[in-house]
Structure 1
Amino acid sequence: MLVSEIDVISPLDLDECLTILSREGIQHRLLAGGTDAVVRMKDGKWRPNVWINVKGLNELRYIVKKDGAIHIGPLTTHSDIIRSQLLQTQADVLVEAAREVGATQMQNMGTIGGNIGTASPAGDTIPALFVLGAVLEIRSCNNKRLVPIEEFFIGPGKTVLRQNEMITNIIIQPQEKNEIGIFQKLGPRKAQSISIVNVAVNLIMGENNRQCLGGKIAFGAVAPTIIRAKKCESMLKIAPITDDMIENISKVAWKEVMPITDVRASASYRRDMASALLHRGLYRLMRRWESYES
């Protein structure tokens, strides 16, 4: 089958889209920005009977703060995220991750819902959503459920999403004034390619010098799905995050990740780079925090 030999349905609104998804006997996939879909089809993958083009559903493209939480529509583009003043001030780690999603053209086309739905272990926005405690609203014609993002992925390219469901909302908790985040990525070409390793960090800082009250650390491209570095996280509260403490935490990261060897990098190289990226990220966060205090 050629890439051009495909059937596409473009629903006019969300209700129509959910109705189409509910039809039995149709092998389908949702098409949003299409930045992953075209590549997968050319590689002989992702060949459903029908593509459901949701790009025109503007009701699913938004960034709003409601009832104390930030709600992001799945069709929100990476460029929308980068430009959002709300996210710049209350979800900085997600903005940094969106800046690393390909070139500008990719950021303009690609959507956060597509990045999540692709379920790639190397997806750049996903670690950021992990450390921000994201919850996904998933809907079908007759049902709506909330799924914590850490329970959404079950393997590379695999999620708990059912055939008749789609993501309709992404909910994150805004960062407080004493929270800071950072996203670090290693790729063959900066911001233009799939991550070899990436890491997102979100820290809750205390009143004393470099005192950390807690935090979350999530790695991408080092396991079948995004993983939380729980052992590293437990060390954040032990003592002030001095340069020596950063060194110790990054050494634990080397043991905590579970990478594989593939065409892009060896497992040992990924371990080394996971440790190095976390070291660099924590170091930069502490310098940033000290600049805020001064």
Structure 2
Amino acid sequence: MLISEMDIITPQTVNDCLLILSKKETEHRIIAGGTDAVVRMKEGKWLPSTWINIKGLKELRYIKEINGTIHIGPLITHTDIIHSSLLQKKANILVEAAREVGAIQMQNMGTIGGNIGTASPAGDTIPALYVLNAAVELQSLHNKRLIPINLLFTGPGRTVIKPNEMITNIIIQPQTENEIGIFQKLGPRKAQSISIVNVAIMLSMAKDRECLGGKIAFGSVAPTIIRAKKCEALLPLNPLTDDIIENIAKIAWKEVMPITDGRATAEYRRDMASALLERGLYRLMRRWERK
């Protein structure tokens, strides 16, 4: 199919979009920033008969705090995230992840909803959303459901989102005063958005280096984002001394499940996952000591 043979529909409201999605006779796909769509079309993978352009739906572009949770519209761009004072204060790990999404042009165009919907295991914002206990609101014409983000993805490029549904809200839990987070990424170069390995770390701290618990989410080391549960179990057992941090990083080498592809070997990804976690924990301890 040629791109010139595709139809583009631009709904004026979310309800208009849901009405279009409810029609089963047409093969359609939603487009917002288009940063992933262009790549997939060149690969011959995303060639629907109809594109639904939702870029202009202002009702899906917001960042606000409601009843102790932060709500983010799916059309919020990575640049919006970077410049949000609310997220800088209460979800800085997501801000750090957004800063790592490729070049400035990618940050200006790409949206958080698109990053989620593409379901790439290398998506930079997704590990940050994992450690922020995010939930994704999916809406159809007659129904709405809230899915914890760890249950949203079923494999590379695959989610539980139904053909008649769209993402209408992302809800995250804000970081508390004693929580510190960091996002680390290894990529071939800044202009490329595809991570070789990435990791988001969130720690709940007490005095000195005493850790009360934490969450660790790796990207690009398995078919979907994974929580490093064995590493997490070691966090509250002892103060996070240099020796403990090194031991936790060694566990990460065994816990990730990477593959070899054109960007890196599985062994290299294991080594880098361990190194990124170790470096991230060291950096978090320095931040905590300065706090």
- The TM tier, using the shorter chain, reads over 0.9
Tell me, in whole angstroms, the C-alpha distance in 2 between the residues paired with 1:205 and 1:19.
47
The answer to whether the Cα contact below 8 Å between 2:180 and 2:284 also exists between their aligned partners in 1 is yes
1:210 to 2:231 alignment = no
Question: What amino acid sits opposite 1:270 in the alignment?
Answer: R
TM-score where L is the length of structure 1: 0.98
Alpha-carbon offset, residue 240 of structure 1: 0.5
The unaligned stretches of length 5 or more in structure 1 are none
Equivalent residue for 2:182?
182
Correspondence for 2:95: 95
Q: Residues 223-262 of structure 1, C-alpha deviation per residue, up to 9 Å, x if partnerless? A: 0000000000000000001111110000000000000000
1:73 paired with 2:73, answer yes
Judging changes above 3 Å, is the alpha-carbon distance between structure 1 residues 135 and 272 closer, same or farther for their aligned structure 2 residues? same
The aligned counterpart of 2:134 is 134
Alpha carbon RMSD of aligned pairs, Å? 0.8
**Contact 2:72-2:170 at 8 Å conserved across structures:** yes
Instruction: Give distance in 2, aligned partners of 1:73 and 1:282.
Output: 31
Q: What does residue 144 of structure 2 align with?
A: 144
Aligned twin of 1:55: 55
Deviates more, 1:2-11 or 1:171-180: 2-11
Q: Is the 8 A contact 1:3 1:42 kept in 2?
A: no
Q: Percent identity, please.
A: 73
TM-score of the pair, normalised by structure 2: 0.99
Structure 2: 5+ residue stretches without partners: none
Supply the distance in 2 between the matched residues of 1:144 and 1:194 (Cα, whole angstroms).
32
Q: Is the 8 A contact 1:100 1:191 kept in 2?
A: no
Give SS of 1:71's match.
strand
Structure 1 Cα separation of the partners of residues 189 and 176 of structure 2: 33
> How many angstroms does 1:191 deviate by?
5.4
1:36 counterpart SS class: helix
- Is the 1:229–1:253 Cα contact (8 Å) retained in structure 2? yes
1:252-280 Cα shifts (integer Å, max 9, x gaps): 00000000000000000000000000001
> Within 5 Å, which residues of 2 pair with 1:163-182?
163-182=163-182
Superposed displacement of residue 24, structure 1? 1.1
* Inter-partner Cα distance in structure 1 for 2:130 and 2:185: 15
Q: SS of 2:170's equivalent?
A: strand
Separation of aligned partners in 2, 1:243 and 1:93 = 23
Does the CA-based 8 Å contact 2:103-2:190 persist in structure 1? no
4+ runs deviating over 6 angstroms: none
Report Cα offsets for 1:134-166 as digits up to 9, x if no partner.
001110000000100000000000000000001
Amino acid across the alignment from 1:39: V
Distance in 1 of aligned mates of 2:46 and 2:182: 33
Query: How many residues were matched structurally?
Result: 291
Letter in 2 for 1:150: N
Distance in 1 (CA, whole Å) between partners of 2:2 and 2:290 is 55
